[in-house]
A and B are shown apart, each in its own frame.
Chain A
Amino acid sequence: MDLLDIFLNQSFWVASLRIATPLIFGVLGALLCERAGVLNLGIEGIFVVGAMVGWMSVYAGAPLWLGVIAAAASGGLFGLFHAILTVPLGLSQHVSGLGITLFATSAASFLYRTMLPDVSSPPRITAFQPMDVPFLSDIPFLGPVVFQQTAMTWLALIMVAVVWWVMDRTPLGVALKAVGDNPDAVNAQGLSVYKLRIGAVVAGSALMALGGAFLTMSAFDAFFFGMVNGRGWICIALVIFASWRPGKALLGALLFGMFDAFQVRLQTEAGAIVPSQIFLMAPYVLSIIALVIVARRAEYPRALLQPWFKGHR
């Protein structure tokens, strides 16, 4: 297979979009939190929680969409925890986030292992199946790539539009962006900085959890320890790359998905010469490079990482 043939192959594009989906959720979630001024390093743990809770709900008998809602709710819960620690209490966002990641990961792992004692192979559920939209799936090339993804990929794409619309076209969005740039001004308007920030973090965390849920309910159909494997952290890098904008977030996630899909296929080509591990490293190296490229010019939300307190402290 020629190198160019990889791009012409339909499965490459299908894989790109599939790999990008959890990242879309994660970057949107991180974007919401950070736009409001709160860094949420709990993302990696929230991915794990979303993956476990969504999967476990379906395993316990719930329909897939209920599992999705459960996953989002669990993410929101951990997000609420992080929000309380960092917004009204004003504790270190770095430490709180890392604590939430450790807590969420260990809680999810403990719950999973306790509810499902050691079995030789992880149990599976009936995951989301690729959709078959009657007319549109038959469009040559574009059809299968876009219209035969699973419903959760569609949810991710819809969420990009929703987040964009809220941030750009509603007063809530204006307030949210303002609270991450100039909370004093927001407070002067009579709006509650606390409520806005907490709300943003909870909503963002719910989205992050969906990224994890996609892994166990769509991409795969089982829960493995260590399956998230740094995707949450990659989202934190990609958010900066996306300049905290939903459109660019989608683009960044897609580019990343393409890169990852490409390196997997490249492995089969060059696997004899280049050790497979070089390819495994590639996504993380790419994330660092992306981060370094934009870091200088990045316009961080001006009040990011700065706690804001009512009254004087």
Chain B
Amino acid sequence: MMVIEPRGVISRRMQVAIPVISALVALALAALPLTFAGAPVLPAYREMFTGVFGSMFSFTEMLTRATPLIFTGLAAALAFRARLWNIGAEGQLYLGAMGAVAVGSGAIGGPAIVMIPLVLLAGMLAGAAGMLGPALLKTRFGADEVVTSLLLNFIILIFVQMMLEGALKDPMSMGWPQSRPIVDEAALPKLLPRMRIHAGLILALVTAVIAHIALTKTTWGFRIRAVGENAAAARHAGISVNRTLLGVACISGALAGLAGVSEVAGLKGYLTTDLSPGYGYSGIVVAMLAGLSPIGVVIAALYVASVFVGADSMSRAMGVSSFLADLVVAMSLISVLVGGFFARYRIRFRSKSGAGA
């Protein structure tokens, strides 16, 4: 019969290998839907690869797509470390974008050195508020934060619609529901001429490093990890679980809000209801692929962005539905989940009458 036993300590090499193998497995499994769609498999993979690495432009496109994913990935990773299930990053992203637009589209004036931090701060505060709500409902009323943060996404998206047709509407947009554009002083500068890659990427990378240091080297980070591992034990050790959860909620929401700021002030320039193609949800996959490590988030974000950009390009070239990208990303999540299991446990087959079973 099948017996499952724990492996004991998982080596560092294994910890890194598992997500990598899982990602490759998911990519390999993409052959099945490709075949179903009638596309030749190997040429399709080649299209996906050149779709990302084939030119400077496509490579920087991938980096541009990875930028918000790093932010939402960090948001999910930090929250999940404390076992706070922030599924609301999508909504918090939009809140951050709204904050940026409210402050940075002309209401306030100033030089870039003032405007950019202002816009970032506005976005962070707005995003933080977005997760503080569900977190408070959890600590005060015991309401599950998965459902509340999830439902809030829908509420926020409708709210954005409302704002874009009302208070935030751009009078010069010929009736199209979009916000006033971010003023030049508040915009995140582009990194390369003729490419869309912008300073949000630098900000994202710096944030990832800060998050890593905070998580591993500070007391605050320790408290987060302790609460996530065993809240009862942490409370026993004198850590205020509620205060830690509320703090993580704010930071996590702020990070997701930064994704929104980055998209609006660095890439698009104004807010619309389709600003995010699901970056908040993809951020969860990024975080899981990264094993909830901030540095891992950067790498995982690059992977997920590559899948999206590559599949987009392949889809245009070969007529396969671009939903393939979502499929691969979803399979990556399940794959890494299963992979984590095999990292922690080994399966032995013993005879029923075996001794020591």
Name A's B-contacting residues (CB within 8 A).
41, 85, 89, 91-92, 94-96, 98-100, 102-103, 105-107, 109-111, 113-114, 229-230, 233-234, 236-237, 240, 275, 277-278, 280-281, 284-285, 287-288, 291-292, 295-296, 298, 309, 311, 313
Contact residues of B between 210 and 265, Cβ < 8 Å to A: none
Say yes or no: B330 contacts A106, CB within 8 Å: yes
User: Residue A277 contacts which of B161, B284, B288, B320 (CB distance < 8 angstroms)?
Assistant: B161
A148 CB to nearest chain B CB (Å): 31
28 A-B Cβ contacts within 8 A? A92-B337, A94-B85, A95-B333, A98-B333, A99-B330, A99-B333, A103-B330, A103-B331, A103-B334, A106-B327, A106-B329, A230-B150, A230-B154, A233-B150, A236-B146, A240-B144, A277-B165, A281-B158, A284-B155, A284-B158, A287-B151, A288-B143, A288-B147, A288-B148, A291-B144, A292-B141, A313-B5, A313-B345
Shortest distance from the beta carbon of B46 to any chain A beta carbon, whole Å: 20
In the bound complex, CA of A311 to CA of B6 (Å): 12
- Say yes or no: is B115 at the interface (Cβ < 8 Å to chain A): no
B159 touches A114 (CB 8 A): no
Complex: A85 Cα to B333 Cα, angstroms: 12
Interface of A is mostly: helix
Query: Main SS of chain B's interface residues?
Result: helix
Q: How far is the CA of A298 from the CA of B147 in the complex (A)?
A: 15
What is the bound-complex CA distance between A91 and B341, given in angstroms? 7
Q: Collect the chain A residues with CB atoms within 8 Å of residue B334's CB.
A: 85, 96, 99-100, 103
Distance A25 CA – B94 CA, assembled complex (angstroms): 32
Binary A-proximity of B1-33 (CB < 8 A = 1, otherwise 0)? 001111000000000000000000000000001
Name the A residues within 8 Å of B337 (CB-CB): 85, 91-92, 95-96, 99
Residues from chain B with a CB closer than 8 A to the CB of A100 are: 334
Q: Would you give the 0/1 interface string for B309-350, flagging 1 where the beta carbon is closer than 8 Å to chain A?
A: 000000000001101101101110110011011000100000
CB-CB under 8 A for A230 and B151, given A98-B87, A114-B37, A295-B142: yes
B residues neighboring A (CB under 8 Å): 3-6, 33, 36-37, 85, 87, 137, 141-144, 146-148, 150-152, 154-155, 158-159, 161-162, 165-166, 281, 284-285, 288, 320-321, 323-324, 326-327, 329-331, 333-334, 337-338, 340-341, 345
**A229 contacts which of B4, B154, B281, B320 (Cβ < 8 Å)?**
B154
**Residues A277 and B162 in contact, CB atoms below 8 Å apart:** yes
Q: For A99, A240, A287, which residue has the most chain B Cβ atoms within 10 angstroms?
A: A99
Residues of B within 8 Å of A278, CB to CB, are 162
Would you call A295 and B144 a contact (CB within 8 A)?
Answer: yes
Q: Shortest distance in angstroms between A147's beta carbon and chain B's nearest beta carbon? A: 34
Which of chain A's residues have a CB closer than 8 A to the CB of B37? Answer: 110, 114
Determine the chain A residues whose CB is within 8 A of the CB of B147 once the complex forms.
Answer: 233, 236-237, 287-288, 291
In the complex, which of the residues B33, B151, B165, B323 contacts A234, with contact meaning CB atoms closer than 8 Å? Answer: B151
By the criterion CB–CB under 8 Å, are B340 and A91 in contact?
A: yes
With A278-B162, A281-B159 known, 15 other A-B pairs at CB within 8 A are: A85-B334, A91-B337, A95-B333, A95-B337, A102-B281, A106-B326, A106-B330, A107-B330, A230-B151, A230-B154, A233-B150, A237-B151, A292-B143, A296-B141, A313-B6
- In the complex the two chains form, what is the Cα distance from A212 to B330 in whole Å? 20
Report Cα–Cα, A95/B281, bound state, in Å: 12
Bound form: Cα–Cα A41–B5 in Å = 28
- Whether A41 pairs with B36 at a CB distance below 8 angstroms is no
Contacts of A95 in B (CB 8 A): 288, 333, 337
B87: which A residues are within 8 A, CB to CB?
A: 98
Contact A110:B33 (CB < 8 A) given known A92-B337, A275-B165: yes
Q: Is the CB of B151 within 8 A of A110?
A: no
Within the complex, what minimum Cβ distance (angstroms) separates A297 from chain B?
A: 9
A110:B141 contact, CB within 8 angstroms: no
Q: What chain A residues lie within 8 Å of B154 (beta carbons)? A: 229-230, 281, 284
Cβ-defined contact, B323 with A113, below 8 A: yes
- Whether A102 contacts B285 by the Cβ 8 Å rule is yes
The smallest C-beta distance from A236 to any residue of chain B, in angstroms, reads 5
Contact A110 B326 (CB under 8 A): yes
- Chain A positions within 8 Å of B155 at CB level: 281, 284-285
> What residues of chain A lie closer than 8 Å to B285, measured between beta carbons?
102
Q: Chain A: which residue is nearest B166 at the CB level?
A: A275
B293 to chain A, nearest CB (A): 16
**A-B pairs, 3 with minimum CB distance:** A106-B326, A102-B330, A277-B162
How far apart are A123's CB and chain B's nearest CB, in angstroms? 16
Least CB distance, A288 to chain B, in whole angstroms? 5
**Identity of the chain A residue whose Cβ is nearest the Cβ of B87 in the assembled complex:** A98
Cβ-neighbour of B151 out of A92, A109, A284, A309 (below 8 A): A284
CB-contact partner of A107 in B5, B6, B143, B327, under 8 A: B327
Quick one: given A91-B340, A94-B85, A280-B158, are A296 and B142 in contact (CB under 8 Å)? yes
In whole Å, how far is A272's beta carbon from the nearest beta carbon of chain B? Answer: 14
A99 contact set on B, CB distance < 8 A: 330, 333-334, 337
A277 CB to nearest chain B CB (Å): 4
